Amino acid sequence: MKKTGYFLLAVIVIVAAAGVGYWKFSGNPDALREIVLEQCLPDQLQHQNPAPCAEVKPRAGYVVFKDRHGPLQYLLMPTYRINGTESPLLLEPATPNFFWLAWQARGYMSKKYGHDIPDSAVSLAINSRLGRSQDHLHIHISCIRPDVREQLDNDLTRISTRWLPLPGDLMGHEYLARRVTESELAQRSPFMMLAEEVPEARDHMGRYGLAVVRQSDGGGTCCHDG
């Protein structure tokens, strides 16, 4: 029998999810959007070449792009205008499940690294509205910090299928966390989970940063990207 895979979701209010990359283009908050809409998407549609992106999926509505921060970090972004966590489009049923798509794109990290990276070493994260420098939705696909992995493993028995405060501070901030199965993550966007299950979250989605990590399976975290 196949063992059920579990993921841990964590949200943080107002500040950015710590430990993820960022972009600075001389103060241009639309730099990522311009790369997607003016370079990657046209090149794919006209020449079947995703460059400068690693992958462009017009019908599925997303691109995968190598982040300039860290040797292994990638970004998953929509092929159309979505600013960030505050966008009501993220709560529309027809909107792609960007976190699940980002999880499917984790193989780019292993390819870049030259060796398999265990799922438990991978993290997905998006910053809050105030914690980001770019106004185009982008999910960071990167390595989880070993100290964060250790703390999550230590707190694992106290994380349930309901949103509850994560025991103790994580990187100096307070988080809410819950556990979901791989099937749940595939079928339902974490943005919807947050909006529908955390009181008042729907009206203030821009205040939240969100992270997703795989429950540890006992493997090591041999992944370093920053």
Per-residue pLDDT of 121-168, as tens digits, reads 999 999 998 889 999 999 999 999 999 888 888 888 888 899 988 876
Say if 30 falls within a structural domain.
no
Average pLDDT, the chain: 86
Say if 89 falls within a structural domain.
yes
Helix (H), strand (E) counts: the chain:
7, 9
Say if 68 falls within a structural domain.
no
Say if 132 falls within a structural domain.
yes
Q: Which of 17-21, 95-99, 206-210 is the most confident on average?
A: 95-99
Say if 173 falls within a structural domain.
yes
Tell me the residue range of the domain where 204 lies: 6-25+81-214
Say if 36 falls within a structural domain.
no
Say if 42 falls within a structural domain.
no
Beta strands per DSSP E along the chain = 6-13, 55-57, 62-66, 74-78, 122-126, 139-143, 164-165, 176-181, 208-214
What CATH number corresponds to the domain at position 14? 3.30.428.30
Q: How many CB atoms lie within 10 A of CB 226?
A: 14
- Provide the domain count of the chain: 1
- Of 34, 32, 26, nearest to 65 by C-alpha is 32
Q: What is the pLDDT of residue 131?
A: 86
Q: How many residues does the chain have?
A: 226
Say if 57 falls within a structural domain.
no
Q: Over pLDDT 70: what percentage of the chain?
A: 85
For 97, what's the count of Cα atoms within 13 Å in the CB-facing half-sphere? 15
Contact 82, 59 (CB under 8 A): no
